[in-house]
Chains A and B, each alone.
Chain A
Amino acid sequence: MVLTLERRLKFTRLIAITMGTPLASSVFLSIIIMVLLVGSLANLIIAVIISTAVVILGSLAYGELVSIYPSAAGNRIFLKKPMGNTLALSLSIMWVIAILGAAGTEAYMAGNVLNYLVGALPPLFWAILILTIVVAINILGVEISGNFQMIITFFVAISLILVSIYSIFFVKNTTPVVLGQLNWLSIFSASAVSIYFFIGFGRVTTLGEEAIDYKKGIPRAMPLGVAFIGIVFILASIAIFEKVPLDVLKVTVIPQIILGKYILVGTQLPVLIGIVSVIMSFSAFNAGILGTSRLVYALGREGTFPRFLGKIHSRFLTPYVSLLFLYGIVLVITVAIFVTRNYSVIVIVAAGFDAFMYGFVGYAALWHHRKMKKADVPFHVKGGTVIFLIAIGVFFLFGILLFATSPIEDAIIVILGTLILTVLYGALYKSGRLR
């Protein structure tokens, strides 16, 4: 009885971890881009449904791979056999860069929200402060209990659902909203942007849970977590689309708070949404920075990254150099966003690269699905060949469409970044300096 309850709690916690990283407040910035793209409510709803469905297929690919390689270093090991060491490593490093870009966007959002809530000091100050606090907590080795994180995640998700439902069903629209005409190019472009909603859901695969969780729990928890995120953001997107005028949306960077102002005029709802938003940023930072620091540390230890990144603090027993290194990169990205006031480059690069990465993971899952004996795959997806083929096709289509319809610099960043890393590490492997 007790064991069953424990396992249920553990499974719920795995769903919460899956949701924790994607449930970031910078998603609201991607909602702005999406709403400006779609043109009609029908396009918006279908776009989010499609992206949620496809990411669920992607999560099944992750599920099959993580059951084969439990507790491994995620993408790198999944891609290694099907694509070779150099490309697997280059894509994994690019993925880390995409996550750091998303963290910079998150800091930008958090800074603006805290400026709204507290005022007095400029948004950049608040962005740097929240980043510094998160990194300091990680360096000091303060561990936030899993159950507390789970409560926070569900609190955030349920708060967003309730506010959105209230907004959609109980608040009258100032101008009539109709479903509108379907435009498939707009739908697929918006779907591609909304891949940003799910960034980092795979973090649960690298957490060092129990072996049994990798074979059954994590593969089953991921699709549920992704579906839940889809529900949260489909409702939030509809609420923002309906209640925040496009002219306002074009100039704001805190649409969730503006939504609060429109649906309960004269109340403290915007402040409450702001607080939820800060919690989202804090959790997403913590998950993103902590999740990538272990990989950077391990890459430093094995010599793939400079060796100083593999140091640990003698008192706190944490990988402080890799944490400070990540902090530095996120800080530079954050300042760059504040200076240029352009967050869309990062959102599109992160969403586009993530789309390609899910496509590659789909290919890796297909490769293993066909090459390995069924008995050696603890989570063998029924109809995996078809499912993974669909995932590969749609994710690559999303990636290509997103870069084709965005400013050329977005595609250049991704192509050049991957190319430089591939050439660099290809040369290092060839020369024998890396093995």
Chain B
Amino acid sequence: MEGELRTVLEEFNRRVNENDRVQKLIKKWSTSVLMWSKDQGFGFVLNVTTGKIVEMRKAESENEGNVKVVSSTETLLSMLRGRENISHLYLDGVVETYGSEKDQIVLDAVARLLWS
């Protein structure tokens, strides 16, 4: 499961960095995002600098990252592949999101632009 999430995240990172619409939107956005699997107890941190995901590394704990997305591995995979709408998952309480309102909304907008 960890390998699968890493692969999906790498593909997600590539798409974010190469998508012009996403880049235009988040060119001033710098933060760190933790994707944490609560059923498996592992996660990855994505470091974003001026809109580019410049680093991805395995998280040491669930306390890292400015904005956190916590769910089951299956839901995270489904979300990162664009099969589930983050807003829908948030409203349904399936994913837990922690961090500033702004960071959470930007993350949601990135997902929407990638798969719209």
Chain A residues near B (Cβ < 8 Å): 69-73, 76-77, 80, 141, 143, 207-211, 290, 294, 297-299, 301-302, 304, 310, 312, 314, 317-319
Contacts and interface: CB of A to CB of B under 8 A. Distances in A.
A72 B94 CA distance: 8
B105 A317 contact: yes
Interface residues of B, number: 30
13 contacts: A71-B96, A71-B97, A73-B90, A73-B93, A208-B98, A208-B101, A211-B62, A294-B105, A298-B91, A299-B91, A301-B87, A312-B106, A317-B106
A319 B105 contact: yes
Contacts of B46: none
B83 interface: no
Nearest to A316: B102
Interface in B17-47: 24-26, 28-29
B87 A302 contact: yes
B96 A301 contact: no
Contacts of B104: 208, 294
A297 B96 CA distance: 17
Contacts of A297: 87, 105
Contacts of B98: 71, 208-211
Contacts of B87: 297-299, 301-302, 310
Contact of B101 (A290, A301, A310): A290
Given A208-B97, A208-B104, A211-B98, A302 B109 contact: no
Given A301-B85, A301-B108, A317-B25, A211 B68 contact: yes
Interface in B73-116: 85-88, 90-93, 96-102, 104-106, 108-109, 112
A69 B71 CA distance: 12
A1 B97 CA distance: 28
Question: Max chain B CB contacts within 10 Å: which of A69, A72, A73, A304?
Answer: A72
A73 B104 CA distance: 13
A139 B98 CA distance: 21
Which residue, A143, A210, A290, A301, has most C-beta atoms of chain B within 10 A?
A: A301
Contacts of B96: 70-72, 211
B106 A294 contact: no
Interface centre among B104, B105, B108 (most CB of A within 10 A): B105
A423 B96 CA distance: 30
Contacts of B102: 141, 143, 317-318
A302 B91 contact: yes
Contacts of B9: none
B53 interface: no
B70 interface: yes
A211 B29 CA distance: 23
Best-buried of A208, A297, A314, A318 by chain B (most CB within 10 Å): A208
Quick one: which of B26, B70, B87 has the most chain A CB within 10 A?
Answer: B87
A319 B105 CA distance: 8
A299 B101 CA distance: 15
B90 A298 contact: yes
Contacts of A73: 90-91, 93
A35 to B, nearest CB: 38
Nearest to A293: B101
Contacts of B108: 298, 301
B47 to A, nearest CB: 18
A181 B104 CA distance: 54
Contacts of A299: 87, 91
Contacts of B68: 211
Contacts of A319: 105
Which of B26, B28, B29, B109 has its CB near the most chain A CB atoms (within 10 A)?
Answer: B109
A140 to B, nearest CB: 11
A277 B65 CA distance: 38
